[in-house]
Amino acid sequence: MAMLHETWKTRTPIKKVEVINTDAKKFTVSDMLTVGKQYDVINETEEYYQIIDNSGLVGGYYKTYFKEV
pLDDT, tens digit, 9 for 90 and up, residues 46-65 = 999 999 999 998 999 999 99
- Confidence band (pLDDT; 50, 70, 90) for 38? very high
Residues in the chain: 69
- Range 13-23 average pLDDT: 96
Mean pLDDT, to the nearest integer, of 40-49? 96
Residue scoring higher pLDDT (1 or 51): 51
Determine the Cα–Cα distance for residues 56 and 51; give it in Å rounded to an integer. Answer: 9
Domains, the chain, in order of start with CATH, read 4-68 (2.30.30.40)
In the chain, what's the furthest Cα-to-Cα distance? 38
Q: Provide the pLDDT for residue 5.
A: 63
